[in-house]
Amino acid sequence: MDLVWFSWSLLLLCIWGLVYAALKSPESRHEMLLVSAWTSLLALTEPLFVPAYWNPPSLFGLAQATGFDIESFIFSFAIGGLAVVLYELVIPVRHESIPWTSRAHLYHPLALVFTPLLFVASTLLLRINPIYSAILALLSGGCLVLAVRWDLRRKMFLSAVIFLGLYSVYFLTLVISAPGYVERVWDLKALSGLGILGIPLEELMFAFSFGFFWSGVYEYALFKRLKRRK
């Protein structure tokens, strides 16, 4: 049984655990757990990616038999929590509720509804590879968040860069420990064919766009704003 995907997803979960343990704020820990739980549901989109984007051998052959796999739930759980709190790991903050008179309450459903709809629509109607649909939806959703919540710009842009850096190092562990795995599992012919240090360009684009949008989703969805702790 090929356990590369399973082992690699567990490695990310270990990184999640280290970051969770390093957080000093109970509030940030709660945020990380809550967003991770939400994000794990993204694994339900895996049939759109298998085999159009990649086709990883999975536990019990679930990915090939059903399109779903256990590893995707672990992976999605981990990246969601990491993307939302990496900024807070570097810059201690606290959250405050936004008054109901704020325009954020009027427009806040926009990005939360538009982003998944754009992903599904662009994948099914435009017939482009789902990874490009995901990148487009995440970047567009992030811009919509900023249009309503410009106060989140610092967290979102810095989180995108930090998450990209972390994800790049994480992906390199796969390139080094399992030579040829990327070429065997990813459908590189359906992609740009470009990459850096063996990492497909699309993975790097996804990491940046995911960190950009997902880092602000907690504050955006729950009407919170950040205040730096002294």
Q: What is the pLDDT of residue 122?
A: 93
Give the residue-averaged pLDDT of 197-211. 98
More confident residue, 191 or 109: 191
Q: Quick one: pLDDT band at residue 229, thresholds 50, 70, 90? A: confident
C-alpha span between 168 and 115 (Å, rounded): 24
Q: What is the pLDDT of residues 141-178, one digit of tens each?
A: 999 999 888 999 999 999 999 999 999 999 999 999 99
Give the residue-averaged pLDDT of 199-225. 95
State which residues form the domain around 42. Answer: 4-228
Q: What is the pLDDT of residues 5-16, one digit of tens each?
A: 999 999 999 999
C-alpha span between 63 and 50 (Å, rounded): 7
Give the residue-averaged pLDDT of 204-217. 97
Give the residue-averaged pLDDT of 199-217. 97
- The answer, yes or no, to whether residue 83 has pLDDT greater than 90, is yes
Provide the domain count of the chain. Answer: 1
Q: What is the pLDDT of residues 125-139, one digit of tens each?
A: 988 999 999 999 999
Q: What is the pLDDT of residue 103?
A: 60
Give the residue-averaged pLDDT of 27-44. 96
- The answer, yes or no, to whether residue 104 has pLDDT greater than 60, is no
Q: What is the pLDDT of residue 110?
A: 79
Lowest mean pLDDT among 95-104, 179-188, 196-205, 217-226: 95-104
Q: Quick one: pLDDT band at residue 1, thresholds 50, 70, 90? A: very low
C-alpha span between 159 and 226 (Å, rounded): 14
Instruction: Report the sign of the C-alpha dihedral through residues 31, 88, 158, 131, in that order.
Output: negative
Q: What is the pLDDT of residue 105?
A: 58
Q: What is the pLDDT of residue 127?
A: 85
- The answer, yes or no, to whether residue 85 has pLDDT greater than 60, is yes
Residue type, 144: L
Three state DSSP letters for 47-110: HHHCCCCECCCCHHHHHHHHCCCHHHHHHHHHHHHHHHHHHHHHCCEEEEECCCCCCHHHHCHH
Q: What is the pLDDT of residues 56-74, one digit of tens each?
A: 999 998 988 998 999 999 9
Residue type, 23: L
The pLDDT mean for the chain works out to 93
